[in-house]
Chain A
Amino acid sequence: MGEEVARPESADAAATRTDPPPADRQLSGEASGQTTTTAGPRNGGWTASSLLRGGVGRNLGLVIALVLLCIVGIVTAGDTFATSANVLTILRLAAVIGVISIGMTFVITGGGIDLSVGAIVALSSVWATTLATQQMAADFHWIFMVSTALLVGAACGLVNGLLVAYGKIVPFIATLAMLAGARGLAEILSDRQTQIINNNSFLDFFGASVIGVPVLVWMFLLVAAVGWVLLNRTTFGRRTFAVGGNAEAARLAGIKVQRHRVALYVLLGLCCGIAAVMLMARTTTGSATHGNLYELDAIAAVVIGGTLLSGGRGTIVGTVIGVLIFTTLNNVFTLNNLSISAQSVAKGLIIVIAVLLQQRLAARAP
């Protein structure tokens, strides 16, 4: 790769002929010197520590909120809250909405929005648990159920993407239509019945633990890690920022903007498929009522995580912390036997406080 990069001869040739830099601009040159030093720590390699330093550093407000929440949890329900079993419970509950939020981070960073994720989860779970699918799974392998869920999710995402990118329907409306359509289809398919999963090897696999950590949590961690790499280290991620930040400039730079938009929705659809599998494993059912209002939880987690709703800026680490905040909140309230309604009020407050904090800190950063 080295010699490929060193190639642009025309530029070098141009350089030798360019006039020497005018002396009068030294001031701006000096100013730049200062800014370069402050922009230092994100260079080069991507060790876990640089990930944490960069990610947590930029998400300081969120980390503070999460820590505060944990303190509240320890104070009010110390004996039950601060146990490894409870931490695993929180993570297990965070896993499903977490996987969706990772996909949502991509779509929002790319300048879109998806309201249909909950409905897609429902449809995927129903389709993957129909009698026919379960029969196939019983005959061959439970992987058949998984792939059905993933395919259905990705297909719904594809439809969303095509409507947005080529149908020129604004994302809000296109995915609102999918929300209604997918949930309706799920109800028709399931005849509004909860479909019990009787494939034990499926339930065993996803219900198991590895090194004491549930498979569902591993799946969430894996999706988050892959998402982080994809967003920050690949051409796909770079294009996502470009498309969300300035679609016209991206188009004129030769990026296939519409195709990329479709890919983003397919990616999110796929995440919904994965989330459906996880939900099926957790509830041992497929149902048209699964994933109700997940779209709001996912969008809230992504936005308090620091991803710009207007696109162009996004963070996976922030999203993960955002998801953990909401799940921990639920957990603390449940442990203290507080009502769901009080929980909602607190949720609203957290959204506002976290975003306010986030903005203050971002404004102060150089």
Chain B
Amino acid sequence: MTEAPHTSPNGRSARGDGEELLRMTGIVKEFPGVRALDGVDLDVRRGEVHCLLGQNGAGKSTLIRVLTGAHQPDSGTILVNGNEVALNTPADSMRLGIAAIYQELDLVLDLTVAENVFLGHEPSRFGMTRRHETNVRARELLKGLGHGEIPAGRTVGLLSAAGQQVVSMARALSRDAQLIVMDEPSAVLDPEEVANLFRVIRDLTARGVAVVYISHRLEEIRQIGDRVTVLKDGATVATGLDARQTPTSELIRLMTGRSIEYVFPPRQEILSTAPVVLEVDDLSRPREFAEIAFSVRAGEILGLAGLVGSGRSEILETVYGARRAATGVVRVDGVELKPGRVQDAVRAGVGLAPEERKSQALLLDEAVYKNITVSSMGRFASGGFLNARAEKEAAEKLTRALDVRPAGVEHPVRNLSGGNQQKVVLARWLLRDCRVLLLDEPTRGVDVGARSEIYGLIRNLAANGVAIVLVSSEVEEVLGLADRVVVMREGRAVYSGPAQEIDEHRVLDLVMEGSAV
């Protein structure tokens, strides 16, 4: 990390004392049937990193949308620089210097970096855009963010996730943002890129910009945050907590109303007589991964660790047939699967819980039960006619078993929190009595409380004889949950062995080697 004087303890305390930029009091927002915000208070000072903590469904996203003018609160007051304001449209918020960087980046992928940065307020003369000036100013902004290497004329779709995030930030700065909301910015980043992100944030706060930082990762909040506000069930339960001094147990207690720790369920011994269910041999796809081989026994959890882009997700999708393998074979119960055919894999008893739940797994506007039965419709149909009652009964049984909340199988899946959506995806494959389950980042966007539940669920599936392949960016998760671990680096397996024989430090060591020079 670069030298930055304001990161010294002195500088930090000064930041915490900055003048007040934003004060929200008693914000209430109701949607039909749900009170999403029920009295939220938040105050943000200039030059601080204010962390917003809360489980999924606690109201963080709704609060951001209120702040950026996308939703109008039903009651409550918002003061910016001491003046009461009404944020009726996103344009109102922008004018007041409030910008947001969303989890799903809202960039136009086919436009260039510079065009994205100035989207909506293009430098122009007589209605003609000034391409040269746009590029020059975009380049300046990028350089200011420490990313002068990103070409202003490059199409945004060609940039990495981290690069796209920098472009989003440059866009916020191009509008002279005083307050930038970052919604889980680290979710799509590698550890290295996170360090870079933090450097940028420190630069911003040194200039007096305030950052509202949302993350599920407590260690990040300790690293970058100044003060913490905790939301629970749509209301502020604590505000102005010191980001570094407040004990983790206290934060978790505030978020959940109970104290929990990350508990990984105990492993079960895998008998050497347990049949090998999934066999992967010499699997390769050019520029993605090469010569991947592993086998998973019934009841075993195999963890794939590695950086984003090391080929982990691609391997899962290839095993599943969503990508066609260039070489190599995949066998389930000794039977070879045809490459590139999802239906074959599904028929053989393979299920995938993909990384991008919303875009790859769920029909967001459809009812919970339809999402659960979508892969087993044949079971509920005779002569092509669906028996909706039987579908709902089966789905209800599963949602009750998995404790999906809210209960009831007729809600659109869109209304569920991340953890509950993940349970719906798992329920889909439970219903099929899967032999092999491929889990790609099963706890991404899942709050701390629901995580333990998902962990327990995964372990129980294994105990019931399912062979599981788990991909996760969180090394702790892979080591805690898996029986055996394969460590990936740049598309190749660099380690394979029992999870107990390797620790987090060693995994990171293996993962970074070569790329960290």
Contact = CB atoms under 8 A, between A and B. Distances in A.
Interface in B380-409: 380-382, 384-390, 392-394, 397-398, 400-403, 405-408
A39 B410 contact: yes
Contacts of A132: none
Interface in B332-353: 342-343, 345-347, 352
A209 interface: no
B346 A254 contact: yes
B33 A238 contact: no
A249 B380 contact: no
A313 interface: yes
Interface string B6-37: 00000000000000000000000000111100
A21 B405 contact: yes
Given A24-B257, A245-B366, A256-B343, A8 B430 contact: yes
A39 B400 CA distance: 19
B363 A15 contact: no
Given A11-B430, A32-B411, A18 B401 contact: yes
B460 A17 contact: yes
A22 B258 contact: yes
Interface in B449-467: 449, 452-453, 456-457, 460-461, 463-466
A5 interface: yes
Nearest to A229: B385
Contacts of B466: 10
Given A10-B430, A35-B411, A252-B354, A24 B366 contact: no
Interface string B357-387: 0011111111000100011011111101111
Nearest to A22: B449
A249 B360 contact: yes
A19 B405 contact: no
A236 B384 CA distance: 7
B377 A235 contact: yes
A96 to B, nearest CB: 27
A255 B374 contact: yes
Interface string B257-270: 11000000000000
A233 B352 CA distance: 27
Contacts of B392: 43
A343 B199 CA distance: 65
A28 B352 contact: no
A233 B385 contact: yes
B405 A11 contact: no
B233 interface: yes
B297 interface: no
Interface in B439-480: 449, 452-453, 456-457, 460-461, 463-466
Chain A interface bracket (under 10, 10 to 19, 20 to 34, 35 or more) = 35 or more
B54 to A, nearest CB: 12
A83 interface: no
A14 B464 contact: yes
B427 interface: yes
Contact of A23 (B258, B352, B362): B258
Contacts of B35: 31
Interface in A226-248: 229, 233-236, 238-239, 241-242, 245-246, 248
A53 interface: no
Contact of A10 (B57, B346, B394, B464): B464
B460 A14 contact: yes
Interface in B305-339: 320, 322
Contact of A242 (B34, B347, B374): B374
B256 interface: yes
Given A249-B359, A252-B352, A28 B405 contact: yes
B510 interface: no
Contact of A14 (B234, B354, B449, B461): B461
A18 B403 contact: yes
Interface residues on B, range: 35 or more
B449 A11 contact: no
A72 B421 CA distance: 50
Given A13-B464, A18-B401, A34-B33, A242 B406 contact: no
B237 to A, nearest CB: 11
Contact of A246 (B359, B433, B449): B359
A17 B402 CA distance: 10
Given A24-B256, A238-B386, A250 B374 contact: yes
Interface in A342-366: 366
A18 B427 CA distance: 14
Contacts of A246: 359, 362-364
Contacts of B388: 43-44, 233
Given A5-B393, A253-B428, A24 B405 contact: no
B379 A238 contact: no
B90 to A, nearest CB: 19
Contact of B57 (A5, A28, A254): A28
A366 B256 contact: no
B375 A253 contact: yes
Given A11-B398, A14-B430, A15-B401, A249 B464 contact: no
Nearest to B415: A35
Contacts of B449: 22, 24-25
Nearest to B434: A10
Contacts of B381: 234-235
B397 A11 contact: yes
Given A5-B394, A236-B384, A366-B33, A19 B362 contact: no
A8 B433 contact: yes
A11 B427 contact: yes
Given A5-B390, A15-B402, 20 more contacts: A1-B382, A1-B390, A6-B394, A6-B397, A11-B401, A12-B397, A22-B258, A28-B406, A34-B33, A35-B406, A36-B406, A39-B410, A43-B389, A236-B384, A241-B366, A246-B362, A252-B322, A252-B342, A254-B347, A255-B374
